Structures are given as C-alpha cells and as structure tokens.
Amino acid sequence: MTEPCNIALLGQKFMGRAHSNAYLKASRFFNLPRSPVMHSIVGLDLIALAPFADRWGWQNYSTTWKDVVKHPDIHLVDVSTPNYMHAEQACAALAAGKHVACEKPLAGTLRDARLMKNAAARARRSKTFVWYNYRRSPAAALAYRFVRAGRIGRIYHVRASYLQSWAGPDAPLVWRFQKKYAGSGAHGDLNSHIIDLARFITGQEIIEVSGALAETFVVERPLPGTGGKPMIAGSLPPKKQVGKSDVDDCTLFLARFKEGTVGSFEATRVAAGHEDDNSLELNGELGSVRFSLEDMNVLWYFDRRETGAATGWRKIVCTTPGEHPYAGAWWGEGRGIGYEHTYVNMVADMMAALAGEEPTLPLPDFNDAYETQRVIEAAMLSAKHRAAVKLTEIK
Ligand code: SOE
C-alpha cells in the first residue's frame, strides 16, 4: 500500500462529480506512488451532500469548508467551487500547509489570481495544481510531444477556438453568467483552456494581445427554477422571472508570441452545432498539427517534407501503449478514451508529483496558471479600450 493522500473536495456540482470520479478511478488504472483517499466532500447543499458522499465513496461530508481545509488529516484540498471562491479557499488551505488543486481559471479576477500565486510562493512545502485537464487528452498530449520534439519546426501560426452552444436564450442565469461570481463569461471559462493549451504545447509566452472583441448577445436570462416546464405533471409552470447576464457570450482576440508566432483565439458558448469543440491547429516551417476535443483520440499531422501524390494530413489514433502518453493505462490499441479520463490522467500525474516523481507531462501550478490569467486580463482590456495591450503592462 503506497502512502495515502487524504483529499478534501470543495464543490459538489459538475466539477465535484468529475473530480470524484477521477479520484475513484485513478488507482484502478494507474500504479500510483501515492493513493488518493476520498476523505471529505464539502458543499452547501446539505440535502444532496449525504447521497453524493454515499454514491462516490466519500468517507465524510461537511458544509463548513473553513474547518475541513484545516483538518490535520487532510493532505490535498481540491477547490472546485465557482471562480469567486477560489482565492479565499485556496489561500486558507495553503496557509494550513495543504497541497491545493484548483479548478480553472485560476480565479475570476487578476487580483484574486495574484493573491493565490503569492500565497503559493509563501507556502514552500505545498504543491499547487490547476485543472487544465485537456493537456492530458490523447491528441493534445501527443501534440505537445511532437511540437516540443521539433517535428513542426519553428511555429508560425496558432489557431485556437473553443466553441460551445449550450448558452442560448433559454439557459438559466446560473453563476457562470454573473460577473461577480465568474469574473467573465466564455472568455475565462473557455479561452482560459485554449490559452493554456497554446502556451503548453508551444512552450512560448504571449507578449501582446490585440483586436479583442467581447459580446453579450443574451442580456436577460430566466432565473433558475422559473419558467419552462411545470415541475409536477398537471401543475402550472413556475412564473418566468428574468435577471441580467453581465458577462461575454463570446470573446475573440489576436496574439503575438515572444518567438514571433502569431495566434488567433475564439471562445463562444452560442455557436449552434458545436457542442464542446475545443480545437487547436499549429502551422510550422516543417509541418502542422491539429485536433479537436470532440474527437480527442485523434491527432492530425502534416509533414511538409513529404513529397508525391500521397502527401497529406496523417490521422494518428493516439491509443498505442508505449507510443502515446497515458495509453498504456487504458484499454489499448484503437480503444479511445473520453472527457472523464482527462481528469483521471491528471489525478495520476498529481499523485506522481506529490510523491516526488516526474508526471507523464508537466502539470500547471498557480504560477503557470497566473500567466494564463494575465493573458485573459490583457484580452479583456484590449476589448474594453479597443487597443493592443502588451503583457508587460499586466503585472
Ligand atoms: C462549461 O462551459 C465547461 O464545463 C467548462 O467550464 C469546462 O472547463 C470545460 O471543460 C467544458 O465546459
């Protein structure tokens, strides 16, 4: 039995489920140097909390995060709450000497993100992680290896878009549509992922952002639990009430990287027909790579040095154990993995890092995610002032 890592997970909703599943599965598929132990789940919805703990195998549940993050048995605090809570919870956990894994984006605001980065720097014995889990999807992981090995040579273009469609006019006014809770809309939620992926795969930093456009198409949304279908058959539908959405439904921007690469980024939640289309294409002097997370086991590779009539994009199914990152832990040749597995892969790497071992691929920590947050901020300023913003202006 390897050394246990007792986990407290803050958040019992969407990410609460994704992370619970990952902690549950990681040691079934990977030989881990530290064993995740599902010690405590923390949430505000007491009625749902006991069944949640029972379903996922959490040993304890609580509604008081301040006590749990200080509990002497806890080693790792996982902050999976809405963005506005990240700073207070992560800083408290770091002050209590815990390791922290925080959901993305690092925070809703640059100020909060800075507090977190500084708290992490002070907590010398704590490790921090940020759940930019798509780094660990099969195609992105192989793209990282190819690009870092020089297969596409000097990089000219980064073309990144994250297109979703779930936020039409009927989508209720959940926290993701409120600036005070989320910080921004599609931008912080989705551009954060593709900024992280672009920085990760290229190894380059963005030095200037320009041409940013942010738009809110749906300014009024139904309040949760109002409008729509009747809750009980035969009863009247609840009266529809609306509230204001004050975040972007889409944000687009252009970027210059330090090494001369140019990039375009687009995030939207209202691109009908695109469910979870997180796509990246890189074009370099020797070739190109591209992928979309809607087909996350496939990396497309173009080798510019090839000649002849059969020259073209090569489809690589990234499921070969020994060749492709993480493939050896799963089902083998040709059997793809999906959304949930990117979280499992990340737990495996976090356990390696906590045991002092090298993760399969580098993990984002608070410092790294702070750099992504600076780009998020630069694009927001570029959109607001209709101007180019240098990253040196964003501290
Ligand atoms: C919602 O847009 C969301 O769940 C994001 O918050 C996640 O980060 C992304 O992985 C999927 O879409």
Place of tokens 């192989």: 142
For the chain, give every residue range classified as CATH 3.40.50.720: 3-133
Tokens of 7: 């986990």
List all residues whose CB is within 6 A of at least one atom of ligand 1.
164, 189, 276
Q: How far is CA 174 from the centre of its chain?
A: 19
CATH architecture, domain defined by 136-224+238-337+365-385: 2-Layer Sandwich (3.30)
- What is the pLDDT averaged over residues 227-239? 64
For the chain, give every residue range classified as CATH 3.30.360.10: 136-224+238-337+365-385
Residue nearest to atom 7 of ligand 1 (CA): 189
Q: How much distance in Å is there from the Cα of 125 to the middle of ligand 1?
A: 30
Tokens of 388: 């180019």
Supply the pLDDT for residue 121.
Answer: 98
User: Which residues make beta-bridge pairs with 10?
Assistant: 42, 79
Cα 46 to Cα 61: distance, rounded to the nearest angstrom = 9
Cα 326 to Cα 142: distance, rounded to the nearest angstrom = 10
* pLDDT tens digits, one per residue of 42-63: 999 999 999 999 999 999 999 9
- Whether pLDDT at 268 is above 70: yes
The CATH code that applies to domain 3-133 is 3.40.50.720
Supply the pLDDT for residue 239.
Answer: 75
* 296 contacts 138 by C-beta, under 8 angstroms: yes
Alpha helices in the chain (DSSP H): 14-29, 46-56, 65-68, 83-95, 110-122, 138-148, 179-182, 186, 192-202, 339-354, 366-385
Query: Buried (b) or exposed (e) across 301-329, using 16+ Cβ within 10 A?
Result: bbeeeeeeeeeeeeebbbbeeeebbbbeb
Cα 141 to Cα 134: distance, rounded to the nearest angstrom = 8
Supply the pLDDT for residue 225.
Answer: 83
* 286 contacts 304 by C-beta, under 8 angstroms: yes
Substitution site in 189, 275, 339, 343 for ligand 1 pocket (most atoms within 8 Å of beta carbon): 189
Q: How much distance in Å is there from the Cα of 186 to the middle of ligand 1?
A: 9
User: Which residues make beta-bridge pairs with 37?
Assistant: 6
- What is the pLDDT averaged over residues 257-275? 98
- What is the pLDDT averaged over residues 182-196? 98
- Nearest atom in ligand 1 to the alpha carbon of residue 14 is 4
Burial of 108 (0-12, 13-18, 19+ CB in 10 A): buried
CB atoms within 10 A of CB 395: 8
Substitution site in 102, 130, 190 for ligand 1 pocket (most atoms within 8 Å of beta carbon): 190
pTM of the predicted model as reported, rounded to 2 decimal places = 0.96
User: Which residues make beta-bridge pairs with 243?
Assistant: 221
User: Which residues make beta-bridge pairs with 321?
Assistant: none
Amino acid 291 reads F
Substitution site in 17, 164, 176 for ligand 1 pocket (most atoms within 8 Å of beta carbon): 164
Residue nearest to atom 5 of ligand 1 (CA): 189
Q: What is residue 147's three-state secondary structure?
A: helix
Q: How much distance in Å is there from the Cα of 14 to the middle of ligand 1?
A: 9
Cα 172 to Cα 201: distance, rounded to the nearest angstrom = 35
Supply the pLDDT for residue 37.
Answer: 98
Supply the pLDDT for residue 231.
Answer: 57
Average pLDDT, the chain: 96
Direct distance between the N- and C-terminal alpha carbons of the chain, in angstroms, rounded to an integer: 45
User: Which residues make beta-bridge pairs with 282?
Assistant: 158, 289
- What is the pLDDT averaged over residues 82-87? 98
> Which DSSP letter does residue 187 get?
I
Supply the pLDDT for residue 336.
Answer: 98
